[in-house]
Amino acid sequence: MAFLGSYRASVLLLLTCASCILMPAAADYAKYKDPKQPLNRRISDLLARMTVAEKIGQMSQIERENATADVVKEFFIGSVLSGGGSVPATNATPEAWVRMVNEMQRGALSTRLGIPMLYGIDAVHGHGNVYRATIFPHNVGLGCTRDPELAKKIGAAVALEVRATGIPYVFAPCVAVCRDPRWGRCYESFSEDPKLVQQMASVISGLQGEIPAGGRRGAPYVAAGQRNVAACSKHYVGDGGTAGGANEGDTPATFHDLLSVHMPPYYSAVAQGVSTVMVSFSSWNGAKMHANRFLITDFLKTTLRFRGFVISDWGGIERITTPKGADYMLSVKLAIMAGIDMIMIPYTYTEFIDDLSTLVHNGTIPMSRIDDAVRRILRVKFTMGLFENPYADFSLAGELGKQEHRDLAREAVRKSLVLLKNGKAGEKPLLPLPKNAESILVAGSHAHDLGNQCGGWTITWQGVAGNNLTTGTTILDGIKHAVGHGTDVVYSENPDAGFMRQNKARFDYAVVVVGEPPYAESFGDNLNLTVPAPGPRVIQDVCGSVRCAVVLVSGRPLVVEPYMDAVDALVAAWLPGTEGQGVSDVLFGDYGFTGKQARTWFRSVEQLPMNVGDARYDPLFPFGFGLQTRAAADMEALN
């Protein structure tokens, strides 16, 4: 019995020691790493393990230029971005992008908790920073298609091209309601009409995937797998309504007007499960949006029940004070307390981290506000599967610029064109143009210029003229493909009156393609909105000598009334992107014109702002205007 008691005691001691060995392993079980755990349980488990430094790191988004693996690891950086034109190398391949993003991710995953980094990039009309990407028409053109399903397809194609470079997050779409075309970002807006912007916000479901029926309202949603991206509706709110169209300006409006004109697209975005919302540089009745607690926390997060995270614009918090950055710590305090969760601090991240740490430790910013921000950021990261699949691979490289996407972009170009005039009084319509003419003239600064055709946010932030920036088809290329083999196509960028006198008998007709140079944001603000030189002279010289179709490439309506009598046909082509053949498809009647104005076309800038529904409404071409034509084959069948 003594021996048996001794044996039992030894076994009990052994089991006790074994449990001591096993207990740390059980205690270390991380629920947040288990995809079988409910989402909120994973978030809470991870949040409870995080230090203040790790939480503040998650709230920080820095520029690619600074984001080495070591920096990401040292500061627990939660997100990295590429600004306009910020690339790993000139003409970088998808594989080069993937390697860069994965190297930064390696730094994030090597931290104590291994929270993956979220890489974001602007993709406002295709994967614009990336060489050989498909560039779609800017939103100003897509609005004229009035085709939400097309927008959704474009979103899905853009998502694939972005994922091809290893990036899972885009700062798109812009759902601004541009009420004044003098604004340099007006081409990023689908329309002056909030209902049409709401409809075209369907691009979000293309980018992220279709939210399941019965999905929780306001919760971020990104479809499983690696073919979709987290989206960002921007710029919240009222950015398209600033006085005089001034970028980063002030939007004077009652709360009722803000709700009825500028807020509706966000109702649609939240309903589609948009993952993030970006705050606008602009102000509302003198109050900076980046410091507006009422609109960010009380309305967006509480009333609309938005559960994703709110992100600042590029260096946006610095603009809270005047002059910019005058009191950085105050700016940090106001922005965080207003409800911004992730701060886009491209270059001042160490100062931001230091100041926010001080504000938390001294009790100025409560830990509850930090926890709310981090909980939202983690919710998006878990939802999009970033913890299970943090690294990108090369399997989607072939999606970048593939023919299927270029065909879709070409379709979007065709449907976005608006025919404003077709034939002088008493004469037959000029369009569709005959393909078998003996000789035609193609003229103008935008006829054979891919950069002008694409506009801003293409390869570089502001965009750049020329044909060396990326791959695509110019409008001239499209015309040459469209005409018969025996037609002589003469291209002269800037023909003068003397050239036209000598050659007027030579040409059956002319196509004149003129418009605006590329621009973005404040650099595009324009108070006169005239057709840039030498466009007016080329129109007068060419159209005064031969029947002509003028194609206007621009990010907004311009002053064209002085030229209306001279031209036989006028086409608004907006900023069509890389697939210029979509323009020739319609000019030559392979397809009919179907686009309708998504903006009011004013007579003079003195009328601005002027929008559909205004008491004083005297446009040159009203909202919804657009002459319709049939495809040439359909016309022949009717005859």
pLDDT tens-place string over residues 257-293:
999 999 999 999 999 999 999 999 999 999 999 999 9
Peptide bond preceding 323 in cis form (omega within 30 of 0): yes
Question: Alpha carbon 431 to chain centroid distance?
Answer: 33
Query: What integer pLDDT is reported at residue 637 of this predicted model?
Result: 67
Query: What integer pLDDT is reported at residue 634 of this predicted model?
Result: 80
44-67 as b/e: b if 16+ CB within 10 A: bbbbeebeeebbbbbbbbbbbebb
The average pLDDT across 64-68 equals 96
The average pLDDT across 512-537 equals 98
Query: What integer pLDDT is reported at residue 43 of this predicted model?
Result: 98
Query: What integer pLDDT is reported at residue 567 of this predicted model?
Result: 98
Query: What integer pLDDT is reported at residue 28 of this predicted model?
Result: 75
Q: What is d(CA 494, CA 446) in angstroms, rounded to the nearest whole number?
A: 10
- 4 has pLDDT over 80: no
Query: What integer pLDDT is reported at residue 16 of this predicted model?
Result: 38
| Helix then strand then coil, % of the chain, to nearest 5 | 40, 15, 45
- 501 has pLDDT over 70: yes
Q: Hey, where are the domains in the chain?
A: 60-390, 417-630
Tokens 């009420």 found at: 179
Query: What integer pLDDT is reported at residue 633 of this predicted model?
Result: 76
Catalytic residue among 521, 525, 568, 579: 521
Token reading at 74: 């040292």
Pick 14 or 157 by higher pLDDT: 157
Catalytic status, residue 521: yes
Query: What integer pLDDT is reported at residue 638 of this predicted model?
Result: 66
Catalytic status, residue 161: no
CATH class of the structural domain 417-630: alpha beta
The C-alpha angle 601, 605, 611, rounded to 5 degrees, equals 45
Domains 60-390 and 417-630 share a fold: no
Q: Looking at residue 66, what DSSP letter applies?
A: G
- Mean pLDDT (the chain) is 95
Q: What is d(CA 417, CA 576) in angstroms, rounded to the nearest whole number?
A: 9
Q: What is d(CA 585, CA 333) in angstroms, rounded to the nearest whole number?
A: 54
Distances (CA, A) of 122 to 162, 230, 254: 10, 12, 31
- 437 has pLDDT over 80: yes
Strand extents, DSSP E, 180-243: 232-236
State which fold the 60-390 domain adopts: TIM Barrel (3.20.20)
pTM over 0.85: yes
Q: What is d(CA 419, CA 59) in angstroms, rounded to the nearest whole number?
A: 48
- 569 has pLDDT over 50: yes
In contact, 508 and 440? CB cutoff 8 Å: yes
Distances (CA, A) of 607 to 179, 188, 206, 525, 601: 12, 22, 37, 17, 10
Tokens 């498909």 found at: 134
The average pLDDT across 321-339 equals 97
Catalytic residue among 313, 449, 525, 579: 313
The average pLDDT across 545-574 equals 98
Rg (CA), the chain: 28
Q: What is the 3-state secondary structure (H, E, C) of 174-198?
A: ECCECCCCCCCCHHHCCECCHHHHH
Q: For 270-279, how does the pLDDT look when each residue is reduced to its tens digit (9 = 90+)?
A: 999 999 999 9
